[in-house]
Amino acid sequence: MSLYNTLMKSEPIALISVSKIATQRLPQVDPEFVEKHHDKLTEVWNVLGEDDEADDLKFANSLIFPTITDGWDELLKKNDIPPNSEVILSYYGYSIFAIDAFTVLDDVKTFPKYHSRCLDPNSTFYFDVAVLNFNLNQSTMMLPKKFGDFLKQCRYHLLSCCTDLGTYHIFDVLLKNDKDLTVQLGLDWNSFCQDNEFQPGIFRFKFSKDYSRSVCHVYQICTSATSSAN
């Protein structure tokens, strides 16, 4: 009996969700799975196929923003899976996986809750922030009151901001010395914007309703020219 058929008759240790849309650079991995199995996950995952041949995925083992860095597009093509998909992998330990199922991602309200573009109101929320050209060049970014009050209420001293490049930056949550204790993100806000080639416009800071993690996804939903045209 082939190794693949043997695996299919056994119970996987866990199921893991990996998802990506075509406009993003890297597939995103469910951080809850990574947190639970972090110590056993290796840099290379072997995804076994029906032909008993394995496709290798390179994995960035991060508790903040876990991603697949190589091999994903080839895996989808080999298995006739569309590029905008959530793929469920069965995990058998020892870096061995198999494809269990996939779902085409076509509605942001039904994306997996960990995905940066998920807008399921039951599990996510966001703050949209207008960023001017002046702001892009500053080392700190002053936040609107509602956003700042949320960070103060949660007592976040740090905020990890993940981007479509598959990278993240950890900002200090700073309180300005004014009567409102206005909240700022810093330092190196300008470098963060340059690295991600952000333009003046509207930035979205998207959070999960799991307040225990001071992590958000940051992406641009429109530029100043686009917002002016609308």
Tens place of pLDDT for every residue, the chain, 230 residues?
688 888 888 999 999 999 999 889 999 999 999 999 999 999 999 999 999 999 999 999 999 999 999 999 999 999 999 999 999 999 999 999 999 999 999 999 999 999 999 999 999 999 999 999 999 999 999 999 999 999 999 999 999 999 999 999 999 999 998 888 999 999 999 999 999 999 999 999 999 998 778 999 999 999 985 544 43
pLDDT of residue 40: 95
Rounded CA-CA distance 76/174 in Å is 43
pLDDT of residue 73: 96
Other C-beta atoms lying within 10 Å of the C-beta of residue 139? 13
In this structure, CATH architecture of domain 124-229: Beta Barrel (2.40)
pLDDT of residue 36: 96
pLDDT of residue 228: 46
pLDDT of residue 2: 85
Amino acid occupying residue 197: E
CB 80 within 8 A of CB 49: no
Q: Would the CATH topology of 3-108 be identical to that of 124-229? A: yes
pLDDT of residue 225: 59
Domain ranges of the chain: 3-108, 124-229
List the CATH code of the domain at 3-108.
2.40.330.10
Amino acid occupying residue 186: G
CA angle 41, 43, 45 (to 5 degrees): 75
DSSP class per residue in the chain: --HHHHHHTS--SEEEEEEE-TTSSS-EE-HHHHHHHGGG--SEEEEE-TTS-EEEEEEE--SSS-EEEESHHHHHHHTT--SSEEEEEEE-STTEEEEEEEEE---GGGS-TTSTT---TTTEEEEEEEE-HHHHTSSSEEPPHHHHHHHHHTT-SEEEEE-TTS-EEEEEEEE-SSTT--EEEESSHHHHHHHTT--SEEEEEEEES-TT--EEEEEEEEEHHHHHH-
Return the structure tokens found at 66.
């876990």
